[in-house]
Amino acid sequence: MLPRKNFKSPFLKKATLLLGCLITAFLLLDLLFPFKPKVQYSTQITASDGTVLHAFLSPDDKWRLYTNIVEITPLLQKTLIYKEDRYFYYHPGINPFAILRAAGRNIFTGRRTSGASTITMQVVRLLEPKKRTYLNKLAESFQAMQLELHFSKDEILQLYLNLVPYGGNIEGIKAASLLYFGKAPQLLSLAEITALTIVPNRPSSLRPGSNNDVLKTARNQWLQRFGKEKLFEESVIQDAIEEPLFVKRLTAPKQAPHLALRLKKDFPDQPIIHTSIIIQTQKQIEEQVKNYVNRLQSMNIHNAAVLVVNNETMAIEAYVGSADFNNPFDGGQVDGIRAVRSPGSTLKPLLYATAFDKGIITPKTILNDVPSNFNGYEPENFDQHFNGQVTTEFALANSLNIPAVKILKEITAPVLINKLKQADFQTIKKQSKDLGLSMILGGCGVTLEELTRLFASFSNEGELKQLRYTTENAVSKKGEQLVSQDATYLLNNILTQVTRPDLPTNFDNTFHLPTIAWKTGTSYGKRDAWSIGYNRRYTIGVWVGNFSGEGVPELSGANTATPLLFSIFNSLDYNSPKGWYKMPANVALRKICAASGDIPGDFCDHQITDYYIMGVSPYHKCRHLRWVFTDTAGKISYCTYCLPEKDFIKNTYPNLAPELIAYYELKKIPYQKLPAHNPSCERIFHEGAPLITSPNDGSEYFIQTSEPQKIQLSCQTSIDVQEVFWYVNDALVKRGSPHEAVFVSPPVGRVKISCSDDKGRNSDVQIVVKKI
Ligand SMILES: [Zn+2]
Ligand SMILES: [Zn+2]
């Protein structure tokens, strides 16, 4: 055995050495001249089912859509490899036999043919086009082997299918199947695949749609060849040959344009961005918005935006940024979902839920909707009327302004601002230092996206979660609790009541009302109409208005935005199978006095039930009436200090707040007044001093010396006050009824205004009067 081995070794040794040298040289050259293909793809935005929603041209203006390996079906693979490079899976990038055969043919015919090109070599040429010289061919062969070294066969095939030209600026199988056949590559038939695989040979003369007959003839020739070679069954080939060829160049899909642009900017290097958009929902709502806005054109209302969130997954299922992206006159390209606008009343639900959590109110707590002055800020209601005493739920469902400002004053603006910061309201984060009580009536900036996310937290029982635009974002299991589940339950019940003024005025019986909770908003100057609604499955945000910011007198959240919200809910989730919210363990019902919302006392004969949060909601004994001693005629009242030994009776009188008395006096609403206090009483009273409502403490007044104006003095007093005394710099200027408005001409400089009542209780304010 040994001699034999020795006999063979010199040749083997040489051969091994040569091979070793070649491999080392190849690896060295590979290190020195690395071949790293860089392909600039078009950005594709896909819907949740993988359908291309929207495609953009690549940076070099090609329709070059990235094809995934899964989109390359066995049928496509088989046809292509048979036609282009039968030994693709066996050669190292170059096919020596094919080269020899082609070289022979070149010598004998004197013509150059490209028959020797493997798929790998074609990929090299597509990546780096060069002149067809023998030297370049050598370089291409080297690079082909480099590709084989660094990429799998499937990856090389994928590169080929992504780069191969199909006429015009269409490159790659995905763009070709989408723009010629209007479908994904996986759905192509054998006939369509065959037609497409022969286009790259002569991309201009065989360009689909330009000369379909020529293409069909060429297609059928190849199909017959496949038949002869028994590549497919005879019947399959026959069907393919009989298949007509209808091709025309289609336009690239352009759905959800605002979202597509947004995501392309967010993920610039990602060839495919998988969104959570449900394509049917998107199409349907785009259509609904367009038709709806068309009907509003005559009112000079030109735009709307809608965002649909799946509450369970927080996935965005529809994103309609404007009524018509292609309408430049009405700012169609503006993304209404991210535009910063005034929220109107849409932040009130968060305020009330926060107040439920702080134990300040329950749904039936009585609030005073009366003219109020908050350090010079005098808000009015939308309809410029006041409602006197109202329940909390009425105040929220009717979006009354004064109760909302009062509640905000009580919980303080910074508390609400912190909640909004927690809910990721970007503009409010920036504005936070400048925001005051007016923010609850719309004096701040929000986006439809932020509002819809906020309302989705109400639908998720107070749990705040991030919105998901792409399938890459993981579903967050647990969110942050923005408000308690208990407070959200109370809120959801209030926002579902169907007897509400923010139902559209033209609401007729033919229009079905789905069970949803919703809140409307109309911004100052009637520029923005909002309606944000939710049930267990969806949260839908609707904005209607003009991107120019132009206000429209007819515009309101109830009449302009709510009908669109309802019609979307009706088409998307009418009679939601998910039911409504269950009462949390910590929420219970209790009896309260209807006159106050507090725990009933002895004299509270009108008792009703109300929800409350155990251990959180206020527990006050009702004081809507109080006992008062009077003489037997009921003309003089006594306190314990001056109560005579006999000839008195004990009676109940309403315990009205000074602001409510002032309102009743203003509106001439009759109310039960307390008899005047015993004139001979010498008791000194401390609590319940008059509240000066004008002028405001610390305010500045400018008066013209030529024509001095007067300033108004007004106050609110306790129910037992009959007379007040006004002083300017400690000099009495007027005595009269507490409800009488008094006008005085103040001196210039720092001025002290005082008000005393008939019980000797006194209040002061300081103002500064300047000349102009
Ligand atoms: Zn009561
Ligand atoms: Zn007294």
Rounded Cα distance between 235 and 271, Å, is 39
What distance in angstroms lies between residue 691's CA and the mean position of ligand 2's atoms?
Answer: 22
**Nearest-ligand number for the alpha carbon of 654:** 1
Alpha carbons 666 and 739: distance in angstroms, whole number? 8
Q: Which ligand is nearest to the CA of 602?
A: 1
Centre of ligand 1 to C-alpha 641, Å, is 26
Q: Confirm if 289 and 318 have CB atoms less than 8 A apart.
A: no
655 CA from centroid of ligand 1 (Å): 10
- CA dihedral (577, 581, 585, 587) in degrees, to 10, reads -160
Distance 610 CA to ligand 1 centre (A): 14
Q: Ligand nearest 637 Cα, by number?
A: 2
Centre of ligand 1 from the C-alpha of residue 604, in Å:
4
pTM over cut 0.75: yes
Q: Please compute the mean of the pLDDT values over residues 54-61 and round it to a whole number.
A: 93
**Ligand 1 centre distance from Cα of residue 653 (Å):** 12
Most confident of 65-74, 130-139, 209-218, 589-598: 589-598
Q: Looking at the CA of 626, which ligand is closest?
A: 1
Q: What sign does the CA torsion over 519, 522, 523, 528 have?
A: positive
How many A from CA of 602 to the centre of ligand 1?
Answer: 8
Distance 673 CA to ligand 1 centre (A): 18
Nearest ligand to the CA atom of 595 = 1
* Per-residue pLDDT at 505: 64
Contacts of 106 (CB under 8 A, 6+ apart): 112, 113
Phi and psi at residue 565, in whole multiples of 5°? -60, -50
Ligand nearest to the CA of 678: 2
pLDDT band at 507 (very low <50, low <70, confident <90, very high): low
pLDDT tens track for 733-757: 999 888 888 888 888 899 999 999 8
**Averaged pLDDT for residues 347-355:** 98
Q: For residue 578, what pLDDT band results from cuts at 50, 70 and 90?
A: confident
**Interval between CA 328 and ligand 1 midpoint (Å):** 60
270 vs 211 pLDDT, higher one: 270
Residues 547-551 have a mean pLDDT of 92
Rounded to 5 degrees, what are φ and ψ at 171?
-130, 140
What is the whole-number distance in angstroms between the Cα of residue 631 and the centre of ligand 2? 12
| b/e code 254-285 from CB counts within 10 Å (16+ = b) | ebbbbbbbbbbeeeeebbbbbbbbbbebbbeb
Closest to 270 in 3D by CA, of 35, 51, 40: 40
Average pLDDT score over residue span 220-249: 90
Query: Ligand 2 mean position to 629 CA, how many Å?
Result: 10
> How many A from CA of 597 to the centre of ligand 1?
8
Range with the largest mean pLDDT of 245-249, 405-409, 657-661: 405-409
Task: Give the separation between CA 641 and CA 455, rounded to whole angstroms.
Answer: 56
Q: What is the pLDDT of residues 385-396, one digit of tens each?
A: 899 999 999 999
Nearest to 256 by CA among 339, 335, 175: 335
Q: Tell me how far the alpha carbon of residue 677 lies from the centroid of ligand 2, in angstroms.
A: 6
| pLDDT 10s digits, 113-125 | 545 688 998 998 8
- Taking ligand 2, which is a single-atom ion, which protein residues have CB atoms under 5 Å away? 639, 641-642, 678, 681, 683
From the CA of 720, which ligand is nearest? 2
Residue from 738, 736, 744, 739 nearest 711 by CA: 744
pLDDT at 354: 98
Q: Provide the percentage of residues in the chain whose pLDDT is more than 70.
A: 95
Q: Is the pLDDT of residue 4 over 80?
A: no
Span from the CA of 515 to the centroid of ligand 1 (angstroms): 34
Q: 697 pLDDT band (50/70/90 cuts)? A: confident
Distance 26 CA to ligand 1 centre (A): 96
**Residue 2 pLDDT > 50:** no
Give the ligand with the smallest distance to the CA of 593. Answer: 1
Q: Which ligand is nearest to the CA of 640?
A: 2
Residue 572 reports pLDDT greater than 80: yes
What six digits make up the tokens of 587? 């929420």
186 pLDDT more than 50: yes
Residues, beta carbon < 5 Å, ion ligand 1: 593, 595-596, 604, 622, 624
**Separation CA 127–CA 122 (nearest Å):** 9
For residue 718, the CA-to-ligand 2 centroid distance in Å is 15
What is residue 478's DSSP assignment?
S
Give mean pLDDT, residues 441-449.
Answer: 97
Backbone φ and ψ of 459, nearest 5°: -70, -25
Statement: residue 706 has pLDDT above 80: no
Distance of alpha carbon 401 from alpha carbon 299, whole angstroms:
27
Please give the torsion angle defined by the CA atoms of residues 327, 333, 336 and 338, in that order, rounded to the nearest 10 degrees.
180
The pair of three-digit structure tokens given for residue 488, joined into one six-digit string: 């959200």
b/e string for 401-435 if b means 16 or more Cβ within 10 A?
A: bbbbbbbbbebebeebbebbeebebbbbeebbeeb
Work out the mean pLDDT of the chain and round it to a whole number.
89
User: What does the pLDDT average to over 475-504?
Assistant: 84
Please state the rounded mean pLDDT for residues 230-254: 90
CA distance linking residue 41 with residue 63, whole number of Å: 8
Residue 85 has pLDDT above 60, yes or no: yes
CA of 656 to the centre of ligand 2 (A): 19
pLDDT tens sequence across 151-161: 999 999 999 99
The per-residue pLDDT for 110 is 58
Closest-CA residue to 595 (of 366, 293, 407): 366
Cα of 5 vs centre of ligand 2, distance in Å, is 133
- Is 106 or 290 the better-scoring residue by pLDDT? 290
Evaluated on CA atoms 282, 283, 284, 289, the torsion sign reads: positive
User: Residue 321 above 90 pLDDT?
Assistant: yes
Q: Considering every ligand atom, which ligand is closest to the CA of 600? A: 1
Distance 681 CA to ligand 2 centre (A): 4
Q: Which ligand is nearest to the CA of 622?
A: 1
pLDDT tens digit string along 408-439?
A: 999 999 999 999 999 999 999 999 999 999 99
pLDDT of residue 367 exceeding 60, the answer is: yes
Q: Give 690 Cα–ligand 2 centroid separation in angstroms.
A: 18
Closest listed ligand to the CA of 601 = 1
CA of 390 to the centre of ligand 1 (A): 14
Residue 462 DSSP label: T
CA of 724 to the centre of ligand 2 (A): 17
Distance 355 CA to ligand 2 centre (A): 39
768 CA distance to ligand 1 centroid (A)?
A: 43
Confidence at residue 759, expressed as pLDDT on a 0 to 100 scale: 82
The distance of Cα 356 from the centroid of its chain, to the nearest Å, equals 25
Mean pLDDT of 616-638: 92
pLDDT given for residue 53 in this prediction:
95
Q: For the segment 670-690, what is each residue's pLDDT rounded down to a tens digit?
A: 999 888 888 888 777 777 888
How far does residue 765's CA lie from ligand 2's centre (Å)? 28
Rounded to the nearest angstrom, the distance between the alpha carbon of 277 and the centre of ligand 1 is 53
| Stretch 571-579: mean pLDDT | 80
